[in-house]
Amino acid sequence: MSCIAPATGTGFLQATLANLDCQAQTIGEGGYQALSAAGSPLALALSLLLALFVAIIGLRFLMGRPLGVEEWVSSALKVGFVLALAASWPAYKIVVYDLVLKAPAEVAGSIGRASALPGSEGGLAARLQGIDNGIMALVEAGSGRLDLAAARPTDAIAPPVTDNSALGWGKTLFVSSVIGSFGLLRLGGGLFLALAPLFAGFLLFDGTRFLFFGWLKALIAIALGSLGLAIILGVQLAIMEPWLSQVLALRASRIATLSAPFELFALSLSFALVMIGLFALVLRVAFALTVIMKVQAMVERAAMSLQQEASTWRPAMSETSQALNEQSRAQMVAQSLRQTLSLDGQGGGGSTQSNSAPSRAALVMGDRNAPEASASVPLGRTYPAPSRRVSNQALRRKTP
């Protein structure tokens, strides 16, 4: 596919964008077919990777470690996906190529039509060329500062930069930001699409799988960037087209627009910075999986540390609770002893002390199952009466 070179003049921006789009499609399609063709060095390298992958499975069988059902399914899916990605252009074009280079424009058109953005119906490059032509007309007409016959509004404010510098830098930033951002996304997409047969083989092995996912994330970033760039250019058209029409109408009426050069410079610089910020956000979103994995690892480490701290504090807490239980038991025994002693002091009799001795001993020993003392014992009946000793002479006297 031969791409038409841009010509100088009023259609330079539109022709350059068309050439960049043509170059991206040529690089993506032609490069893929060249790398995946039979006999190419990359095709031979892919064949060696597939043979090595099958050889590793065979070695596992020889070592007595056959694959499980899940491993069989995963291996079959890997091989089929690699072959479809690296050796089948029709499948690759539908699944990946059109999704990266053409789908963002369709999605941006749907969003733009719902938001009434200029260029959403098609012809975005032609509308951008119209902005460039309007800027050139403003450069030729000038702001009217040196035109003594031009009427000056009462609220006219002198800009902080000269007209020539503001107009020159404004046009340069507008054209450069549009061509640079569009070329970065389109040419980057074409290059990464062409290298699909190279990165597809890295999916087979765990040690090189991160290279494949890096390539996939780059394609996601390019697709999201293309979508965002189309929306930003539509907003830029919605702002700059009516602004340029108003400024050119004032200049055609011989009315000075002293702040127009500075406003053009500010608008061009602002949208250039917005495009740079968009690319930074898109890269952050596309590579967010790595950030999520890092955050998950941090959370897991924090959870493990908390578990270790809990395991170290648990024995200390058990010892503390045991000490508290022993202390409360000692307090209960002391309280019961004080109550018993107070009762003994109120009774004042030795028999009462003797009667309460068993119960007091039971309380001091902490035996809850000790039998309670009898309710009331007559005085003198606490201990058995001593036996009287009778002599032999007394016995003789009683006998007749």
> pLDDT grade, residue 367 (50/70/90)?
very low
Same-domain check for residues 268 and 302: no
The torsion defined by the Cα of 363, 364, 367 and 370, in degrees rounded to 10, comes to -50
Locus of tokens 């036996």? 387
356 compared with 39, residue with greater pLDDT: 39
pLDDT of residue 170: 92
Same-domain check for residues 154 and 215: yes
Rounded CA-CA distance 33/42 in Å is 11
Same-domain check for residues 277 and 299: no
226 compared with 63, residue with greater pLDDT: 226
Same-domain check for residues 25 and 173: yes
> Can you tell me the mean pLDDT for 309-331?
59
Same-domain check for residues 166 and 120: yes
**92-106, 234-248, 279-293, 302-316 — which one is most confidently predicted on average?**
234-248
- Other beta carbons within 10 angstroms of residue 186's beta carbon come to 23
DSSP string, 172-233: HHHHHHHHHHHHHHHHHHHHHHHTHHHHHGGGGSGGGHHHHHHHHHHHHHHHHHHHHHHHHH
Tokens found for residue 326 = 């022993």
Has this prediction a pTM greater than 0.85? no
Tokens found for residue 289 = 């999986």
Encode pLDDT of 90-119 as tens digits.
888 888 898 898 899 899 989 988 988 888
Q: How many domains does the chain have?
A: 2
Encode pLDDT of 247-285 as tens digits.
999 888 888 888 888 999 999 999 999 999 999 988 888
Same-domain check for residues 56 and 106: yes
CA distances from 16 to 173, 235, 267, 283, 307 (A): 16, 21, 22, 26, 62
- For residue 74, give its domain range: 12-286
H or E element, residue 279: helix 260-286
**Which stretches does DSSP call E strand in 284-394?**
none
> Can you tell me the mean pLDDT for 306-333?
60
Residue 378, in any domain of the structure:
no
